[in-house]
Structure 1
Amino acid sequence: MGLYYGRSRNKAPKNFPPGPWSLPIIGDIHHIDNSRIHLQFSEFAEKYGKIFSLRILGPRIVVLDGYKLVKEVYLQQRDNLADRPLLPLFYDIIGDKGLIAASGYKWKQQRRFALSTLRNFGLGKKSLEPSISLECCFLNEAISNEQGRPFDPHLLLNNAVSNVICVLVFGNRFEYSDNDFQNLLKNISEAVYLEGGFCAQLYNMFPWLLRLVPGPHKKVIILWQKVIDFVREKVNAHRVDYDPSNPRDYIDCFLAEMEKLEDDTASGFDVENLCICTLDLFVAGTETTSTTLYWGLLYMIKYPEIQAKVQEEIDRVVGGSQQPSLSDRDNMPYTNAVIHEIQRIGNIVPLNLARATVEDTQIGKYSIPKGTIVTGYLTSVLFDESEWETPYSFNPGHFLDVEGKFRRRDAFLPFSLGKRVCPGEQLARMELFLFFSSLLQRFTFSSPAGVEPSLNFKLGATHCPQPYALCAVPR
């Protein structure tokens, strides 16, 4: 019986995309190097075509390669690719709750509510700019305190970016000296890294076994539980003193919505879902943007001539007596181009977040059954050789025309697209411009004496630089 089950799981559905020959039970796990899986996807695409399949998360997944194909499928099949797969590891941590893992009616209601609520608090609007600019000042002060000595900026960047979303969801920011909050951010970074590892993959293939044995997969669950407990404390504190007529933040608004929709249990307006939705906003609003800035400073110390050109533009357009503002962005095409190139080459979510088909469908010439995991992986979009002049080089010219004006690129899709496009895109764009330009206005960044900057990465659920140190000298 067990052997039959292994064979039946191994057999691909009729007219399914091709892929490597999967072994019974373990699928394609023997083909995969988790430390470079985003690069292996490109190798598989060369061998099996731009639509191929693998068995690496338990069931088979369909992978889409290249900008044109990803765009075509994600837009034409936007409604049919609106679900998320229920992967055992994530299901055991959060169930089908939240904004990232949920599907169907509950997800639609929660996404609509989150977007409208956060817009009311300034998401994507100029009214949020003072809050980000104030955080820029705190970050600059913390970096000044390093007095030009070598330090790793990762946690400071994490804390600064996190504080912007913390004000929106919790109603307050956290001091950089708050050790408990620093530890929380470390837990999140470690959990995100472990999620992309071999043990997490095994858990999704053999949950019935891995639930019983120790290993890094257990640590992922423990780390996320600590973060959820932190969020739950914040929610409980809000429940004591919130005023529905005067909401302070996302949690207050959610609590008010719970009272309005207490009869609509399917919409997910309950305390547990509030905790997970808040967690999703908190983590998604921190991890990707801070990692982009972490890549950004690394590329500035790697290419000091590019850093100098950014600083020259900042000095000319903004000067030194006032902070950069969003109104300056249109007059700073080179700085804007550098930020976009950091996002492109930083490739923060290289595999994209997996989606699942809502019903049986056709992709190209292949038949894809309902519930199949599909991902248009972003490495193939952001490094598409038919779209980018020098895809593997750090080249701000990708985003500049012949006159030096900023130009948009269709294949610039770090936030993905379709029904599941990142809801925090506008916030991330604001933060990246304000934090990056503020940092380079105040400091010149360099590698410690005798140290050659390395662009080596570590790959978990995100693509992050290996830890590095830099020196920040006030200008």
Structure 2
Amino acid sequence: MGPSEVLVAVLICCLTVQFVKLLWKHRRLPPGPLPFPLIGSLWRVGWKVRQDTLMKLANSYGNIFTLWIGHTPVIVLSGFEAVDDSLTDNPEALSGQPMFPVFKILGNEKGIMFSNGKTWKQQRHFARSTLQKMGQIKMSLEHQIEEEAAQLVEAFAREKGRPLDPSLPIMHSVSKVICSLAFGHPVAVDEKALHELTEHISTVTKFRGTAGEILYNAFPSLMRHIPGPHKKVISSCEFMHSFIRKEVENCQKAGVSQEQKDYTHLYLAQIDKEKIDSTTTFDEDNLVQVIFDLFAGGTDTLVATLSWALLFMVAHPDIQEQVQKELGSALSPSKLVCYEDRKRLPYTSAVIKETQRFSNVILFGAPRVCVDDMNVLGNFIEKNTLVIPDLCSINLDPKLWETPRQFNPNHFLDKDGKFIVRDEFLPFGTGSRACLGKHIAQVELFVLFTSLVRAFTFRLPEGVKEVNTEPVIAAVVHSCPFKLCAVPHWLQPTEDQGWRV
């Protein structure tokens, strides 16, 4: 037997041993596709992930099943009952954050999104209490969002009905709101820093869920030494941390007063309170990372959702017209839209919620790690197991929604046209790692969307015949790149296809 034959024999033996190990471990887990060495059970997923990919597997293996990524088992929770029973009823048991190599680049185990243990508990508790209990912060933020909505309308109006990509001006508005939350002031839209900041935020968020992230997580030692998109992400993270640190330093120089209610000043005051505790996690590094988390978690999802909302208005002009009629009858044309107006706008509110449901910008909830053994609907899941909730399986469940694969605002309206709250609607996740900025995001979605639709009618550019609503699947689900025409209500088309007041 030659060297090549010996090598092949050894390889076959190793693969056989690995296969037997996988089978042995597989028998103690919830059912799922048969795993093979190296590829796990990804052979059942295929090369292209779709919105209903995991739902199809759930049809075969049940609402709690095991999907192997290489030699790592991942428990998938499909459907509202499984997600609610695990994340809502057992929030602490599923509070762990897996420390993937990419997460160490993004968070270095600090802040909220990419931390565990005492750091996560202290930082999250402070963030939650600050955002929920400080009414002054909410009021000032809501006022800032109203002002940003007015500026966003002006930015769209300057195009005078010409084709535009709505994502960039929306990104600027959302980023400025977070700057106000974090530092007490927005960054001017024409400043170079804001343009650079939004570019680097996009670089970081759009890397999530890509092949580049998967490769880096699989071969971190190798990827550190070769070029690729991960290098650009590392550079963008460094820029964002530097940008935030400079703003924090400016806040430190300004000092802390009773009038200053932004997150940074409140956090700096907390650092002073915690100085006597040698074990505290309140320090400048964690402050910088928490603000990084706010930018990373609070921009891309909101931009994607608002972009989808405008695209759906183009795709459904009848719905757009109905929203505009409700806005025209319920709101004074001279008054800025405020969040309180939602109580008089049930149909508009339903359209926004339906956009969140139908766009599925977050297909899968953040991966969790069991910190304790747990039982979910009769399925035992042991400590340190990786778990992923399939949120899309809730949003597209025909048992919950009358027409799950159609854009239908009536999903959130009763027979009398009144807005209804759906318990099974979880756009911001649930459990101990649910979105902390839920209230702010809700205010932004409502105020920005209603301000835009009240000011403009959105249409396809001339020559474009069809609306492409095919999703681009990644960590955040965007629409395919598109342009639309924001036609102000006070502009009329001329014979030469121009616009006049």
Q: Same fold (TM over 0.5)?
A: yes
Partner of 1:113: 126
**SS of aligned partner of 2:404:** coil
Q: For residues 167-202 of structure 1, what are the alpha-carbon distances to aligned partners after superposition, in whole Å with 9 as ceiling and x for unaligned?
A: 010222123323432232122223222220122123
**SS of aligned partner of 1:20:** coil
What does 1:325-364 align with in structure 2 at a 5 Å threshold? 325-364=338-377
Q: d(CA) in 1 for partners of 2:78 and 2:309? A: 26
Partner of 1:458: 472
Preserved contact between residue 256 and residue 265 of structure 2 (Cα < 8 Å): yes
Look up the equivalent residue of 1:419 and give its one-letter code. Answer: S
Q: For residues 358-381 of structure 1, what are the alpha-carbon distances to aligned partners after superposition, in whole Å with 9 as ceiling and x for unaligned?
A: 112222333322111112111011
Preserved contact between residue 131 and residue 138 of structure 2 (Cα < 8 Å): no
Q: For residues 15-55 of structure 1, what are the alpha-carbon distances to aligned partners after superposition, in whole Å with 9 as ceiling and x for unaligned?
A: 21122233323434555457525432112212222111223
The 10-residue stretch of structure 1 (266-275 or 243-252) with the greater mean CA deviation from structure 2: 243-252
Partner of 1:469: 483
Runs of 5+ in structure 1 lacking a partner? none
Look up the equivalent residue of 2:482 and give its one-letter code. Answer: Y
Is the counterpart of residue 172 in structure 1 residue 185 in structure 2?
A: yes
The 10-residue stretch of structure 1 (136-145 or 92-101) with the greater mean CA deviation from structure 2: 92-101
Q: d(CA) in 1 for partners of 2:311 and 2:371? A: 41
The alpha-carbon distance between structure 1 residues 312 and 149, as it changes in their structure 2 partners (threshold 3 A), is same
How many residue pairs are counted as aligned between the two chains?
475
1:297 positional shift: 0.4
Q: For residues 425-446 of structure 1, what are the alpha-carbon distances to aligned partners after superposition, in whole Å with 9 as ceiling and x for unaligned?
A: 1111111111111111111111
Is the counterpart of residue 20 in structure 1 residue 33 in structure 2?
A: yes
Look up the equivalent residue of 1:68 and give its one-letter code. Answer: E
Q: d(CA) in 1 for partners of 2:371 and 2:136? A: 30
What does 1:443-454 align with in structure 2 at a 5 Å threshold? 443-451=456-464, 452-454=466-468
1:94 positional shift: 1.8
Look up the equivalent residue of 2:240 and give its one-letter code. Answer: V
**SS of aligned partner of 1:60:** strand
Partner of 1:148: 161
Q: For residues 384-439 of structure 1, what are the alpha-carbon distances to aligned partners after superposition, in whole Å with 9 as ceiling and x for unaligned?
A: 11100000000001011111111121221111112222111111111111111111
Runs of 5+ in structure 2 lacking a partner? 1-9, 490-501
**SS of aligned partner of 1:36:** coil
Partner of 2:90: 77
**SS of aligned partner of 1:259:** helix
Preserved contact between residue 82 and residue 377 of structure 2 (Cα < 8 Å): no
The alpha-carbon distance between structure 1 residues 400 and 361, as it changes in their structure 2 partners (threshold 3 A), is same
Look up the equivalent residue of 1:21 and give its one-letter code. Answer: L
Look up the equivalent residue of 2:373 and give its one-letter code. Answer: D
The 10-residue stretch of structure 1 (130-139 or 308-317) with the greater mean CA deviation from structure 2: 130-139
Q: d(CA) in 2 for partners of 1:286 and 1:173? A: 15
1:327 positional shift: 2.6
Q: For residues 338-370 of structure 1, what are the alpha-carbon distances to aligned partners after superposition, in whole Å with 9 as ceiling and x for unaligned?
A: 011001111111111111111122223333221
The equivalent position to 2:405 in structure 1, one of 378, 392, 395, is 392
Q: d(CA) in 1 for partners of 2:427 and 2:18? A: 37
Q: d(CA) in 2 for partners of 1:234 and 1:446? A: 40
The equivalent position to 2:152 in structure 1, one of 116, 119, 139, is 139
Q: d(CA) in 1 for partners of 2:404 and 2:438? A: 23
Q: d(CA) in 1 for partners of 2:244 and 2:70? A: 29
Partner of 1:287: 300
Q: d(CA) in 1 for partners of 2:452 and 2:26? A: 53
Partner of 1:190: 203
The equivalent position to 1:425 in structure 2, one of 438, 442, 452, is 438
The 10-residue stretch of structure 1 (201-210 or 191-200) with the greater mean CA deviation from structure 2: 201-210
Q: d(CA) in 2 for partners of 1:269 and 1:58? A: 37
What does 1:17-96 align with in structure 2 at a 5 Å threshold? 17-32=30-45, 35-56=48-69, 59-96=72-109
Give TM-score scaled by structure 1 length: 0.93
Partner of 1:161: 174
The alpha-carbon distance between structure 1 residues 78 and 41, as it changes in their structure 2 partners (threshold 3 A), is same
Preserved contact between residue 136 and residue 261 of structure 2 (Cα < 8 Å): no
Q: d(CA) in 2 for partners of 1:40 and 1:301? A: 28
Q: d(CA) in 1 for partners of 2:279 and 2:96? A: 16
What does 1:271-310 align with in structure 2 at a 5 Å threshold? 271-310=284-323
Partner of 1:313: 326
Look up the equivalent residue of 1:42 and give its one-letter code. Answer: M
User: Alpha carbon RMSD of aligned pairs, Å?
Assistant: 2.4
% identical equivalent positions: 37
